Structures are given as structure tokens and as C-alpha cells.
């Protein structure tokens, strides 16, 4: 991947020609601080704004995007994802070989996965739950309205966080994750989860891959919600390029950048 924005003063080889090294990539995607909660989202879209092809985001991806996907997972403490995306993308527990192991710092060898599931509508026998590594158990974020027997059964296989009455309160959920030491959060979707994070002003950063494809069709956007909820002015931190793919990193204007 090569850096195309911002240009690096005094380093012409870093303003569009040379590929960044693994450690340089890790540096520009590093979290501001491990001591504060920081919520980063990683999403992909086609050039015409489609979030999926035939219902899945994998059709929009490429080798560089998959490599960045692994890096962002390497740097985080926990992966936050909606139950619908878990089913559509066939999520499994993270394994060390899927990460940039030499760059994994602090704590467990893999990040935990936290699934937002309002009614515990998740197959508890799936490898996402049953094959999670010790110390990185899958976390289910649910509500008071989820049936008590389902919550009790889920607690036998995963960690359960009750956040909200009928709808998951993501602020409560994120605070509960932070209290457990999960402060570097990576949200991987889907669109409803990203829309809610934006609406609740909980999103600090958006990493957006723009795929050089025109998807057309009726595919949805990367963020949806019942009401328009602008996240506010974003600040473009950098743009990388590889084989026509653009990798944009934005932060909220109010957020401090380390």
C-alpha cells in the first residue's frame, strides 16, 4: 500500500511511490491510547456506494483489503459486530494465524468478539462461540427483554452483557466492555450497528475501503437507521492506495488524535 494523502514533507518516497512497511502501517493505524475507550469502524463499499455484493461484503474485498482487515483486528481488544452480520458473513472465533502476530501487543493472543443480539438470536453451537480461545470468550450483548432461559443458556457458553431494556444500549455496552479491559474497539458492522453508533455519537473513527467496482443493484449502504443521524464533520487523516483500492481513515473532529 502506498500513501497518497497527506504528502509527507521531506520524504518524497512516501508521497505516492513506495509501499509502506508493516510497521509503518501499524503505526498510522495505531489507537490513540490503550487507557481510553476508542471506537473504530472498518467498512467497505463499492465505488457507487454498495455495501455488499449478493448479500456479503467479501465480494468487494481484495488482497490488500484483507491484509488491512487482519491488521485492524491485530490492533484491537475486541471486535463489535451485529448478529445479522455474524450470520451473513459466517463469523468464526479469531485464530492467532489470522493476525499479524508479531504486531500483537498486550493481553491475549487474539481479540474477543462481541455480538449485539437483542434476543440472543444466535446459534450457540457455532464455532464463533464453541471454538473461542480461553480468555477470549465470545461476548453476547443483549437486552432485558431477551428470554431469561436463553440468556441463562448463553451464559454457559459465552459472556453475557445485558445493556438496555428492549433495544441494546451501545453506550452501556461499550462502558461494560471498557470495564473488562476492552478499550480498543473495532466495529465491523453491519449497517444497522454502524448507524446506531453514529446516531448515538459513539463512533470515534471510520476506516473505509472504496473498492474499484460498480455494484449497481439494490445493495444497501454501510450505515442505516430509522432517522437521519449525521455523525458530524469528519477529518480525513490519510488515504492509501493499492491496485485501485482506496483506504480512507477518518476521525471525528471533536476527537483528539495521538
- For the chain, give the number of residues: 258
What value does the mean pLDDT take over residues 126-130? 93
34-252: CATH topology: Dihydrofolate Reductase, subunit A (3.40.430)
Q: pLDDT category, 16, cuts 50, 70, 90?
A: low
Place of cell 443480539: 117
- The chain-wide mean pLDDT, for the chain, equals 91
What value does the mean pLDDT take over residues 201-223? 93
Q: pLDDT category, 33, cuts 50, 70, 90?
A: confident
C-alpha cell at 135: 480468555
What value does the mean pLDDT take over residues 234-255? 92
pLDDT of residue 218: 85
pLDDT of 115 over the 90 cut: yes
Integer Cα distance of 10 and 3 in angstroms: 14
C-alpha cell at 92: 468464526
pLDDT of 143 over the 90 cut: yes
Of the given ranges (156-160, 167-171, 252-256), which has the lowest mean pLDDT? 252-256
3-state secondary structure 55-100: CEHHHHCCHHHHHHHHHHHHHCCEEEEEHHHHHHHCCCCCCHHHCC
pLDDT of 258 over the 50 cut: no
Q: pLDDT category, 106, cuts 50, 70, 90?
A: confident
pLDDT of 55 over the 90 cut: no
What value does the mean pLDDT take over residues 89-99? 95
Measure Cα distances from 155 to 120, 129, 137, 152, 195 in Å: 11, 11, 11, 5, 28
What value does the mean pLDDT take over residues 129-152? 95
CA dihedral 19, 23, 28, 29 (to 10 degrees): 110
pLDDT of 245 over the 60 cut: yes
The fraction of the chain above a pLDDT of 90, given in percent, is 79
pLDDT of 11 over the 60 cut: no
pLDDT of 257 over the 60 cut: no
Q: pLDDT category, 10, cuts 50, 70, 90?
A: low
What value does the mean pLDDT take over residues 2-29? 80
pLDDT of residue 63: 95
Q: pLDDT category, 107, cuts 50, 70, 90?
A: confident
Domain positions in the chain: 34-252
What value does the mean pLDDT take over residues 159-169? 96
Q: pLDDT category, 254, cuts 50, 70, 90?
A: low
Residues 125-157 as b or e (16 or more Cβ within 10 Å = b): ebebbeebeeebebbbbbbeebeeebbeebeeb
Amino acid at each position: 500500500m502506498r500513501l497518497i494523502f497527506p504528502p509527507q514533507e521531506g520524504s518524497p518516497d512516501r508521497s505516492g511511490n513506495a509501499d509502506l512497511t508493516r510497521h509503518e502501517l501499524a503505526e498510522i493505524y495505531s489507537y490513540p491510547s490503550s487507557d481510553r475507550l476508542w471506537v473504530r469502524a472498518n467498512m467497505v463499499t463499492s465505488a457507487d456506494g454498495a455495501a455488499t455484493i449478493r448479500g456479503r461484503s467479501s465480494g468487494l474485498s481484495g488482497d490488500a483489503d484483507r491484509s488491512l482487515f487482519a491488521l485492524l483486528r491485530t490492533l484491537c481488544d475486541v471486535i463489535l459486530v451485529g448478529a445479522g452480520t455474524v450470520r451473513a458473513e459466517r463469523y468464526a472465533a479469531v485464530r492467532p494465524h489470522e493476525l499479524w502476530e508479531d504486531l500483537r501487543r498486550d493481553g491475549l493472543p487474539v481479540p474477543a468478539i462481541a455480538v449485539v443480539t437483542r434476543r440472543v438470536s444466535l446459534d450457540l453451537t457455532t464455532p464463533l462461540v464453541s471454538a473461542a480461545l480461553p480468555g477470549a470468550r465470545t461476548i453476547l450483548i443483549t437486552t432485558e427483554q431477551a428470554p431469561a432461559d436463553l440468556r441463562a443458556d448463553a451464559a454457559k457458553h459465552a459472556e453475557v452483557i445485558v445493556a438496555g431494556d428492549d433495544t441494546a444500549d451501545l453506550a452501556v455496552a461499550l462502558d461494560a466492555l471498557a470495564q473488562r479491559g476492552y478499550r480498543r474497539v473495532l466495529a465491523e458492522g453491519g449497517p444497522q450497528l454502524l448507524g446506531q453508533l453514529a446516531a448515538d455519537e459513539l463512533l470515534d473513527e471510520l476506516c473505509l475501503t472504496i473498492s474499484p467496482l460498480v455494484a449497481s443493484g439494490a445493495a444497501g449502504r454501510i450505515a442505516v437507521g430509522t432517522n437521519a443521524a449525521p455523525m458530524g464533520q469528519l477529518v480525513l487523516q490519510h488515504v492509501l492506495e493499492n491496485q485501485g483500492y482506496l483506504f480512507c481513515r477518518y476521525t471525528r473532529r471533536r476527537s483528539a488524535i495521538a
